[in-house]
Chains A and B, each alone.
Chain A
Amino acid sequence: MSARARLVMFLAAALSLGVLVLWAYGGLPDFGHYRGPYGDVLNAVSVPERNITDVVTAVNFDYRGFDTLGEEFILFAAVIGVAILLRAQRDEEQREASEFAFGRSAPRTSDAVRVVALSLAGPTVVTGLYIVAHGHLTPGGGFQGGVVLATALLLVYLAGEYSFLRRAAPLSLVEVCEAIGGGGFAVIGLAGLIAGAAYMENVLPLGQVGQLNSAGTVPLINLAVGLEVAAGFVLILVEFLEQTLMVRLKEPT
């Protein structure tokens, strides 16, 4: 199809979609006048029912926990897909950079970058863990904290070389963390069945409002999700770096 024909076809389709969007907008509440009811119900019951002060986390890991499990598996599948797509293909092999550029080494990372990256790595880990652990109290949780934790390993890479990252986060360990995180969420859900309630029901003691060890299963699920998200992002990072730095076409023998 010529570019012109494609554009004409798109404009026709966009016009009809535009009409539908306008029609749908007609049924929306005015901006700033949310009509409810679900958000208001959840805002009212989350603290008295579940001792969770961050209602967004209550929705994600308790009231709507089963959906979040599905979304977590999308993340898991996407990470596995990246790992499979970026493995060395039949006509490729992995080699250390020093093997195919003999006698030439990559320029050293500048001292300023190393100092900044290394001094940020520790605080980033602490911040990430804090955000994961306090998900049920203040804004945060496994998804956000997991990404922050993965950033710490990116800083390790920036501070040194690729081999540093591989030593700081061995691939087999990252893969195990990814699996434990993904499976952990599903297994915590089983606690509900064991206690004779529904799958994913929050059956653990709810504790005191505002305490770290409150909200039943929610902090545990946050830990599992944080582990999975952090491991998933590190795995993606490692796979792309390996693709760029190490995977090369086999030399004809």
Chain B
Amino acid sequence: MSLYPFIVAAWLLFVGLYGIVTSRNLIHLIVCMQVVQASTYVLLLSIGYRHDAVAPVFAEVPVGTPAVDPVVQALALTDVVVGATVSALLFAMAVQVHKRSHTLDPARLVELRG
């Protein structure tokens, strides 16, 4: 029972890596990379989780109430936004690759052209 979140994180990591390795389309490849990234969120948040604890916000509960770890939440939160913009950068690259080579299949992008 207590292992489920860690199994999910490992599953996302390996299924995403498998997708990246076998991908035949750059868009699919970028989405697979986001799946790998999602595994880090699951892992971080499950490390900081605590049973019967509140969110680390003390607006309505007194300081000292058992709360989950705020550090991993802070890491995951900035990473979600930064990850979205980095994906946009990769998608922009895919747009240009398609314009130059008329293909999105990495296996057919073997030649360097000036």
> Residues on A close to B: CB < 8 A?
3, 6-7, 10, 14, 17-18, 21, 25, 28-34, 36, 38-40, 42-44, 46-48, 53-56, 58-60, 64, 68, 71, 74-75, 78-79, 81-82, 85-86, 89, 137-139, 141, 143-144, 146-147, 210, 229, 232-233, 236, 239-240, 243
Contacts and interface: CB of A to CB of B under 8 A. Distances in A.
Contact of A85 (B58, B73, B93): B93
A39 B2 contact: no
Nearest to A58: B70
Given A34-B68, A138-B57, A147-B81, A44 B63 contact: yes
Contacts of A144: 77, 81
B108 interface: no
A178 B4 CA distance: 41
A34 B47 contact: yes
A144 to B, nearest CB: 7
A32 B67 contact: no
B82 interface: yes
For the residues of B in contact with A, the DSSP-based class is helix
Interface string B82-105: 101110110111011001000000
Given A138-B59, A139-B57, A229 B81 contact: yes
The range of chain B's interface size is: 35 or more
B78 A71 contact: yes
Residue from A39, A89, A236, A239 with most neighbouring chain B CB atoms (10 Å): A39
B41 interface: no
A14 B21 CA distance: 11
Interface string B12-47: 011001100110000000000000000000000011
A135 to B, nearest CB: 11
A25 B43 CA distance: 10
B68 A59 contact: no
A56 B73 contact: yes
11 contacts: A14-B17, A14-B18, A18-B14, A34-B48, A34-B53, A53-B57, A54-B57, A56-B56, A58-B70, A59-B71, A139-B55
Interface of B: 2-6, 10, 13-14, 17-18, 21-22, 46-51, 53, 55-59, 63-64, 67-74, 77-82, 84-86, 88-89, 91-93, 95-96, 99, 107
Residue from B10, B14, B70 with most neighbouring chain A CB atoms (10 Å): B70
A56 B89 contact: no
Given A40-B69, A54-B57, A56-B57, 20 more contacts: A14-B14, A17-B17, A18-B14, A34-B68, A39-B56, A44-B64, A58-B70, A68-B78, A74-B85, A74-B86, A75-B82, A78-B82, A78-B89, A81-B92, A139-B57, A143-B77, A143-B80, A144-B77, A233-B84, A233-B85
A42 B46 CA distance: 18
B67 A55 contact: yes
Contacts of B107: 3
A137 B5 CA distance: 29
A53 B22 contact: no
Contacts of A29: 47
A28 B47 CA distance: 7
A248 to B, nearest CB: 11
B69 to A, nearest CB: 3
A251 to B, nearest CB: 16
